[in-house]
Structure 1
Amino acid sequence: MKVRLLDLNCTSYLHSQTIYHAVAYCTTKASPGTIIIVRSRDPYVSVGYHQSLEEEIDVRDCDERRIPMIRREVGGGAVFLDKDQLFFQCIFPRERAPLRVDHLYKLFLQPAVKTYRRLGVDASYVPVNDIQVNEKKICGTGAARIGDASVVVGNIMFDFNYGEMARVLRVPSHEFREKALESMELYLTTLRRELGYLPEHEDVKNILVNEFEDMLGTKLYRDELTSEEHKAVARMDEKFTSPDWLFEKGRPSDNWVKITTSVKIMESSCQSEGGTIRIILRLKDDIIDDLSISGDFLFQPRDDLKGLEDRLTGQPLREDRLLRKVESFYKTRTIQSPGIGPGDMVRAIMGRK
């Protein structure tokens, strides 16, 4: 199978997204596979196809600071992107790509895994769509069927602006933003963090291309966009900058912010007779990894609220299990919280109003 390489070097934020969409829409059963390697010279925010921009991103802050925003046709979450990520975008006729999405990811993420390893980073593929180092995410990925093409995208993380990522998110409170930042710093890593220095982009790009060639069993031939693809890029540029497309509603937000495949954080509040219970919760593999309980309620002995947080940390997010733990804690510690019982605490932790 012939596979071409489009090495776009450093391009605009818009073209770092619209070109691979255009190539996908131009792909037919007879088309060669295409691997695109590109960096964005502009920082920008990208949200997934099923997301609502206004629910995920602080649009006013991005507008005021002139940070472009884009909604892609590939799923996944909101992310801040810039020149410190090297994108790889794989576009293949769907007849010549795995049908199952997990098989698609496993195949097309292997070159990135091996690139990291050749650079001295002990990366591994973690189903369905993660690349991790010691349980830390080191690659953003996505997949979709666009037109008649199967598409897988990902990146090599040279560095990452954790603070900027936390800032552009639309979050319910300053405390939640701080928890998002802490969680990203804990569970996302980069080449700079793992190696202590930044390797040369050209060296990494050459390794990545070589690994794609080994995986595909063929040498990639360098190519340019066809005239048909150039026209498609112009159409995609117009579409992706259209407010109608950008602000089209996706699925409603469920209050969770995904950090990695296995780590996510959530803030919720619950009104009870005794006051408002506010929860900031981090889950890892559906286990409570970090928990903060606050609010305008009375809780005595007051220092035991931290003890309750500690008691529930490490527990699965299962209502029956949590209720037994909270009831036991209330009983053994002789907790007094007028108008707030164990059931109210658990309801808040489960994210119900």
Structure 2
Amino acid sequence: MENKKILIFPACHIIMPSTSNRRAAFFLAAEEYVASSLPQDNYFFSWILNPTVVLGRNQRINQEVNLDFCQTEKIDVIRRRSGGGCIFADNGNIMFSLITGTGAVEPIFAAYAQNVAHSLQCLGADVYVSGRNDIMLNGHGKICGNAFYHSANRNIVHGTMLYDTNTRLMKGALRPDLEKLKSAGVKSVRKRIGLLKDTISCHIEDLRTHLIHSLTNRSITLTEKDVKKIETIESEYYKKEFLYGRHNSSLLICSDRIEGCGKIEIRFDLSGNMINAVELSGDFFEWNDSLTVFQETFSGIEFSPASIKEAIRNNCPEKSIRGLSQESLIALLTPDKLESTNYQPYTN
């Protein structure tokens, strides 16, 4: 383990032009750019975000994130290319990126976690590495979660450190795996995490500076030309097929009998969280071709309460069915009326 630490740390610190108000995708893209464009070395940089949820590569967005809450609270939602679980970050968190050369991932991953833990211990934090290289604050909970993936001939490790956080936004934005919480012997997201501000006295920017000094001994500054190239990579993260389309299509069924209208059953074929197609059935009477109207209303939009309501109010599909009101149609699409196949809709 010591040899691996010597090979990886101290690393080269990446300095960027101003990154205020940059979204998580920019920094994830920066990892890719460093991995593909800079000379062989071990590179490290840190970043701080506005409220953001970052999904793991293979997670279902509706199972992990309350999208309606995030939209209301203006919380950004991004998917990363590495595996692992969903995390919430805000300006009380420090995010880290480490880009290394080729080699076995496990020793690199372990060396990263051990070095970060040692840096915190030097400040008096009672921390230790646990499980899949998480960093735990003794008696308080998890303060660092880390993930990794391969990129061409490089390895990329990244993580988040909880100094402080808005727990209301965290609890509202995330949908934790209840079985995972149960197996960990905790009842909520907040009880599973620890906050460094409770045990060390330094400010978050001082902590960030300390970690950079502990883990690096040289630096390289990216240029505005580099930033433009990073922004090109960044744009790929905003494509809906990347954010929502990691999984095969699934079927969501909304069905109810509405007084004065009859039985209505709407089937949404979903790819991730996007509506691919709509089917309509029931014993209602039509004023015109209701299936075409519903398909034109809902196909291609995000399946979220806000998007559904906006589509209904803009297109008035209820007018194609006798006795169906706008309020009844919106009520039909509430979570308690939904059944799913290989899909879990979010609830408020």
C-alpha distance in 2, partners of 1:126/1:165? 22
Identity %: 20
Which of these residues, 62, 68, 76, is aligned with residue 68 of structure 1?
Answer: 76
Secondary structure, counterpart of 2:188 in structure 1 = helix
Matched, 1:148 2:149: no
Matched, 1:107 2:122: no
Secondary structure, counterpart of 1:5 in structure 2 = strand
Amino acid at match of 2:218: L
C-alpha distance in 1, partners of 2:186/2:170? 8
Does the C-alpha gap of structure 1 residues 140 and 105 become closer, same or farther in structure 2, counting only changes over 3 Å?
A: same
Deviations, residues 192-249 of structure 1 (Å, cap 9, x unaligned): 2224x5x223321232123213xxxxx222422584x434412222111111111122
Gaps of 5+ in 1: 214-218, 253-353
Secondary structure, counterpart of 1:220 in structure 2 = strand
Does the C-alpha gap of structure 1 residues 63 and 183 become closer, same or farther in structure 2, counting only changes over 3 Å?
A: closer
How far the C-alpha of 1:72 sits from its partner, in A, is: 0.4
Q: CA RMSD in A?
A: 3.1
Alignment of 1:316-327 (within 5 A): none
C-alpha distance in 2, partners of 1:206/1:249? 37
Which of these residues, 239, 243, 247, is aligned with residue 246 of structure 1?
Answer: 243
Alignment of 1:185-334 (within 5 A): 185-195=190-200, 197=201, 199-213=202-216, 219-225=217-223, 227=225, 229-250=226-247
Alignment of 1:147-166 (within 5 A): 147-166=152-171
Amino acid at match of 1:154: G
How far the C-alpha of 1:5 sits from its partner, in A, is: 1.2
Amino acid at match of 1:13: R
1:39 corresponds to: 48
Q: Is the 8 A contact 2:117 2:127 kept in 1?
A: yes
C-alpha distance in 1, partners of 2:175/2:203? 34
Matched, 1:126 2:126: no
Secondary structure, counterpart of 1:77 in structure 2 = coil
Q: Is the 8 A contact 2:29 2:233 kept in 1?
A: yes
C-alpha distance in 2, partners of 1:150/1:212? 17
Length-normalised TM-score, structure 2: 0.59
1:327 corresponds to: none
Q: Is the 8 A contact 1:132 1:139 kept in 2?
A: yes
Does the C-alpha gap of structure 1 residues 181 and 225 become closer, same or farther in structure 2, counting only changes over 3 Å?
A: farther
Secondary structure, counterpart of 2:33 in structure 1 = helix
How far the C-alpha of 1:107 sits from its partner, in A, is: 0.8
Does the C-alpha gap of structure 1 residues 171 and 137 become closer, same or farther in structure 2, counting only changes over 3 Å?
A: closer
Gaps of 5+ in 2: 1-6, 250-348
Q: Is the 8 A contact 2:186 2:192 kept in 1?
A: no
Q: Is the 8 A contact 1:106 1:127 kept in 2?
A: no
Deviations, residues 15-41 of structure 1 (Å, cap 9, x unaligned): 2332223322335xx42321112112x
Length-normalised TM-score, structure 1: 0.59
How far the C-alpha of 1:133 sits from its partner, in A, is: 2.0
1:13 corresponds to: 23
Q: Is the 8 A contact 1:5 1:36 kept in 2?
A: yes
C-alpha distance in 2, partners of 1:250/1:129? 27
C-alpha distance in 2, partners of 1:189/1:62? 23
Q: Is the 8 A contact 1:24 1:149 kept in 2?
A: yes
Amino acid at match of 2:242: W
Deviations, residues 229-285 of structure 1 (Å, cap 9, x unaligned): 434412222111111111122599xxxxxxxxxxxxxxxxxxxxxxxxxxxxxxxxx
C-alpha distance in 2, partners of 1:38/1:131? 18
Q: Is the 8 A contact 1:92 1:149 kept in 2?
A: yes
1:49 corresponds to: 57
How far the C-alpha of 1:7 sits from its partner, in A, is: 3.5
Does the C-alpha gap of structure 1 residues 10 and 108 become closer, same or farther in structure 2, counting only changes over 3 Å?
A: farther
Secondary structure, counterpart of 1:62 in structure 2 = helix
Secondary structure, counterpart of 1:74 in structure 2 = coil
1:260 corresponds to: none
Does the C-alpha gap of structure 1 residues 92 and 232 become closer, same or farther in structure 2, counting only changes over 3 Å?
A: farther
C-alpha distance in 1, partners of 2:176/2:203? 35
Q: How many residues align?
A: 234
